[in-house]
Amino acid sequence: MQTNYKKILAILLLVGNFNKINAAYTQRDTALNIIQLPINYSKERTELSIEYLKNRHGIEQSTPIINPIMIVLHFTDGGTIHSIHDYFNAPTIEDSRQINKKVSALNVGSQFLIDRDGKIYQLMPDNYLARHAIGINYCAIGVENIGSEKEPLTEEQVIANAKLVRHLCKKYKIEYLIGHSEYIKFRNTPIWKESDPKYITYKTDPGEKFMEGVRILTMDLNLKSNP
């Protein structure tokens, strides 16, 4: 399937006035609708999250609350809103994910999940820890998108992600916007907090063109992509 965000890029480049585009875009932001679809952030998940903060990030506290300065965009590599919700709902990670399971039993998850039509679902409070990106979970909000390499993310998802980023930037002091494939850049910087220097996984999601589209639509926010 041919995605349409090339079209957005082409229009923006033709018009050549990003400030005007962004001003128009900002006004459209009023229509942001977030559908609540909470996973069970149970006592067990809470305890595992507090333990994750301590053991992985070296942060000792009595709650799983984070102070977000970063947004990380992902794709799910298949599935549907309901199958991904069900998958994230379990407090513990499945046995087949050996590399991850070895360092913590906490299941993976994300604060937000966006469908192919651009509908935004919130799975947990946006400042609760979710396990979605090694080294930076303690300061990063994760946004998953239904899609994969074979099923590239849609124009609706580009727009929805940009709207959500704009919304979160009003709420928190967000400095960075990255795709999961870019997170390794933060290794060997003070932002990276992971007790095992060898614990790393290589990612390709959510795709370069997708990131380019979201970045153009949020250009006025001056979010950084590098440490």
CB of 185 to Zn ion, least distance (A): 15
Q: Is 131 in the site for Zn ion (CB under 5 A)?
A: no
Residue among 57 and 74 whose Cβ is closer to Zn ion: 74
Residue among 50 and 120 whose Cβ is closer to Zn ion: 120
- Distance, in Å, from the CA atom of 10 to the CA atom of 184, rounded to the nearest integer, reads 30
Between strands 112-114 and 120-122, the pairing is antiparallel
Residues 165-204, interacting with Zn ion (CB under 5 A): 180
- Distance, in Å, from the CA atom of 98 to the CA atom of 40, rounded to the nearest integer, reads 23
Q: Which of 74, 131, 163, 166 binds Zn ion (CB under 5 A)?
A: 74
For 69-96, b/e burial (b = at least 16 CB within 10 A) is bbbbbbbbbebebeebbeebbbbebeee
Residue among 50 and 109 whose Cβ is closer to Zn ion: 109
The H or E element that residue 171 is part of is helix 155-171
CB of 10 to Zn ion, least distance (A): 28
Determine the angle formed by the axes of helices 155-171 and 18-28, rounding to 10 degrees.
Answer: 80
CB of 111 to Zn ion, least distance (A): 13
Q: Is 205 in the site for Zn ion (CB under 5 A)?
A: yes
Residue among 74 and 131 whose Cβ is closer to Zn ion: 74
Residues that bind Zn ion (CB under 5 A): 74, 180, 205
